[in-house]
Amino acid sequence: MERGSRVRIIGNASEEGKEKVRVDIDNAFHHHIEYLPNDLREKFQQNELPKIEQEIALIACVNKATNELLEQCGIDVFDVPVENYHILPADIYKEISLFGHAEHQWIEQSMVFNADHVRKSPVYFGSCVFHETLHIKAHLSLLVQGEGDDLWIYYYRAGVSAGGTFQDELHKHFSGLDEAIIACQQKEFTHRLLSLTVLEEEKDWLLSDEALAKKKRFAEKHDLSEDEIIWVSKSDPDDFEGMGYASQRRVLEYVCKEIQKEFPDRFSVVDDVFKEFLQAHFTGRLLPIARLVEETFGEGSFRLLGNMGVEQDSGVLYLESLQKARGRHIRGRIPGKEKV
């Protein structure tokens, strides 16, 4: 499978220029190290930590699980090569990424992981790998401008997120929704990880009375539900890792529940609504979910949902706004009821 052929490219660049970008992405995917920018290739070659057998097995498991999702959505499946996953010492990771414990890179078709965090636990590693792989397997559209070799590549759409450029990734629309879709699916996958034979030792610890007591304590201390906690440390009484994008996930869960209530004949269960959002993640087609949201929450509500960012408090604010929009939309259909 050619990764580049799955990338939609628009813009005023010539067809030759657009094809060059497709080929570059395909080469970055299939012949990864060879086609990385020189500085990044050197950084990886000098500092990347070798993957152990268990990590390679987990990457294979993630490829299988994400391919099952692609197949459910009627999209051709493909594996991301093991070489495209890079586990780095914390100081090197921070030279590449300012965010989180793991990050994906679209043009380079790579994923980088902060070893100080992801190597605390194979379950947490598998969970992070799943999250970043779902980003890499998302729909990707690029805006390519310029002439000849002087080409400018702008990020146009990845998954359901849209807007911004590779030089200015912070200006995005639907970034919160994009992360919510991935994180909801990640949580479901993470709960299944402990059934893997390769993680039996980790399972014994995480299901022990001591670990469960720590989970309960962390949940109470940080106002979390216990199923939000992925891993707890044996030795450090204050160290744990949990699921991300909790407030954004709550917004998406609320939106899906209300859509199911609005269209019970079309969606017998809430999961069927979520599949519409997952489909949009893989295809980049937003119109079907836009219609569902607007018909459930009223005119302008999809734009409102698109303004939700990835900041921790963003989901809280937009959940309240969408709840108000839903109330107005319902009241507006009641004869004689004033819209407020």
**How far is the C-alpha of 109 from the C-alpha of 30, rounded, in Å?**
9
Backbone angles phi, psi at 12, to 5 degrees: -90, 5
pLDDT at 164: 56
Q: How much of the chain, in percent, has pLDDT values that exceed 90? A: 86
What's the pTM value of the predicted model, to 2 decimals?
0.93
Q: In this predicted structure, what is the pLDDT of residue 333?
A: 79
Cβ–Cβ < 8 Å for 109, 79? no
> Which of the pair, 162 or 80, is modelled with greater confidence?
80
Q: Please list, in sequence order, all residues whose beta carbon lies within 8 angstroms of the beta carbon of residue 1, skipping any fewer than 6 positions away.
A: 76, 78
Sheet containing 161-162, strands listed edge to edge, beginning at the edge strand earlier in sequence: 8-10, 140-147, 150-158, 161-162
For residues 199-221, give the mean pLDDT: 96
- Predicted confidence at residue 148, as pLDDT, reads 80
Edge to edge, the sheet with strand 85-88 lists 85-88, 110-114, 102-105
- What is the residue type of 66? T
Residue 155: pLDDT band by 50, 70, 90 thresholds? confident
Phi-psi region of 74 (alpha: psi -120 to 50; beta: other; left: phi over 0): left
What tokens appear for 168 in the block? 């200015």
For 274-287, the pLDDT digits (tens) are 999 999 999 999 99
Give the chain's mean pLDDT: 93
Number of neighbouring beta carbons within 10 Å of residue 266: 12
Residues 185, 199: Cα–Cα separation, whole Å: 20
* Whether the Cβ atoms of residue 125 and residue 191 lie closer than 8 Å to each other: no
End-to-end CA distance of the chain: 53
Question: How many Cβ atoms are within 10 Å of 312's Cβ, its own excluded?
Answer: 12
154 and 165 Cβ atoms separated by less than 8 Å:
yes
Average pLDDT on 135-141 reads 96
Q: What is the pLDDT of residues 165-196, one digit of tens each?
A: 544 444 579 999 999 999 999 999 999 999 99
